Each structure stands twice: as C-alpha cells, then as structure tokens.
C-alpha cells in the first residue's frame, strides 16, 4: 500500500514538474515520467485489488508529510531532490528487496519492470541537478539543505504502519504490542544481517547520488552522520 501511495504522489509531483523544469528536453522527460508513475500506480492498485482482496491501507504519516511538502513547494530543484534523489532511492531499495525475496512470481515480475523505470528516473536528477545546485544563492542552498535533512529523517527513520493497523480496527495497546514485537524480531541474527545489508545499500546510494549532484558538503555530511549514515561510502564505492 505504501508503495502504491508513493507512486501516486510521484505521478502528481512529476505532473507539476512538467510545467516547472527549465528546457524542453527536461519537460519531455517529466512528461514520460508522469506516464511511468501512472502505470506503476495502476499495476500496484490492480495487484492489491485482484490478488490481496482489495486491502489498500492508508498512507503512513512519514510518507504523507514528505509528499505534502514536495507537492506544496514551488521550486523545481527541491521537488526533484525530494522525489527523485531521496524518495526514489528508498522506493528502489524496497522494490529490489521485493523482487529478490517475494514468494509470488507475479510480484517479482512487477517489481523488476518498475525498477527498470525507477533507475531512469533517478538518472534524471543526476543529470539535471548539478548545474542548478552550483548556481543557487546562499539562501536557496540553505533551504535545500534543510529540506534534505527533513526528507532524510522522514524516509530513513522507519515506516511503522500505524494507520494500517488502525484501519484494521486494532486498539492502541495492540498496536504498541506489535511495535515492540517488531523491535524484538529486528534483533534476530538473520533479520539483523538482512537489515544491515538493506540499509547499507540504501545509504550508499543516497550518499553517492548526493555527491554526484553537489549536495554532499560539510553541512549535509554533518547531519547525515548524526543519523548514522556513513558519508565516506561514496568515496569507498
């Protein structure tokens, strides 16, 4: 459900970017991404409706807050960083995890096809942002850095689906019990290794992409280290 909501949010953000990005080539690309995101949203919606008994749960608070800000901001470079540099990185990691671990071959096939599009979407930010970021005023750069910090917190600090549990009719006590159970399961040796590898891949991609677009500086590196993100990963890679 959260991936579906993310694709719907990306479709809306890209439709805004068609009008905002400079140059026809960028506008043409954003128009194709609107179509891509609409196709992703449709196939995920059909999968949930046809294969999961129509169980589509509400958007988590973190994802809603991130997309509310992306959709409400009037600067194309902030939308692009939030959507294609950060949110897409998280989505790509999740789709790759599902492609490699899902028991349903249909879901694995869906994720494989979506990943082919998402890698192209991330590539747009790598190509379009460096010149823009180099030319930002001190005030705009500071705003972009602040947004990057907030977006990273929302994306990286976990997506506990409280809203989904509430929609199922669970009580606050039941939800808290689930939260504690998830923490205990996460401490298990097998899961801990999987989570470590997942986080490392996601962190490395974020750091590498921020470095490529010129957004990895002393200030952003400092607050990323506070979050436990190793900012030397890009150099090591």
Task: Record the tokens describing residue 185, joined without a space.
Answer: 């399961």
pLDDT at position 28: 95
CATH number of the domain where residue 163 is located? 1.20.1260.10
pTM: 0.84
Distance between CA 108 and CA 99 in Å, rounded?
4
Give the per-residue pLDDT at 235: 47
Identify the domain containing residue 146 by its residue range: 2-236
- pLDDT exceeds cutoff 50 at 113: yes
Count of domains for the chain: 1
pLDDT at 16: 97
- Quick one: pLDDT band at residue 237, thresholds 50, 70, 90? very low
Q: How far is CA 42 from CA 7, 47, 110, 164, 218, in A?
A: 9, 9, 11, 20, 41
Percent of the chain with pLDDT over 90: 55
Q: Residues 20-35: pLDDT tens digits?
A: 999 999 999 999 999 9
Rounded Cα distance between 78 and 207, Å, is: 17
User: Is a pLDDT exceeding 70 seen at residue 188?
Assistant: no
């Amino acid at each position: 459900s959260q991936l579906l909501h993310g694709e719907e949010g990306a479709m809306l953000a890209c439709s805004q970017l068609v009008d905002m990005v400079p140059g026809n080539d960028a506008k043409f690309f954003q128009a194709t991404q609107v179509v891509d995101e609409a196709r992703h949203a449709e196939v995920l919606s059909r999968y949930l409706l046809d294969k999961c008994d129509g169980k589509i749960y509400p958007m988590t608070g973190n994802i809603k807050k991130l997309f509310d800000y992306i959709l409400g901001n009037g600067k194309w470079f902030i939308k692009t960083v939030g959507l294609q540099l950060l949110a897409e990185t998280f989505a790509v990691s999740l789709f790759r995890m599902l492609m490699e671990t899902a028991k349903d071959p249909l879901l694995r096939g869906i994720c494989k096809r979506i990943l082919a599009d998402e890698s192209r979407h991330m590539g747009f930010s790598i190509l379009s942002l460096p010149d823009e970021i180099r030319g930002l005023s001190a005030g705009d750069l500071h705003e972009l850095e602040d947004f990057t910090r907030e977006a990273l917190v929302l994306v990286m600090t976990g997506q506990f689906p409280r809203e989904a549990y509430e929609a199922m009719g669970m009580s606050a006590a039941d939800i808290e019990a689930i939260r504690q159970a998830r923490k205990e399961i996460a401490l298990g040796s097998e899961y801990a290794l999987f989570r470590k590898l997942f986080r490392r891949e996601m962190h490395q991609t974020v750091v590498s992409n921020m470095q490529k677009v010129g957004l990895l500086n002393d200030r952003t590196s400092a607050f990323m280290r506070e979050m436990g993100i190793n900012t030397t990963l890009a150099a090591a890679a």
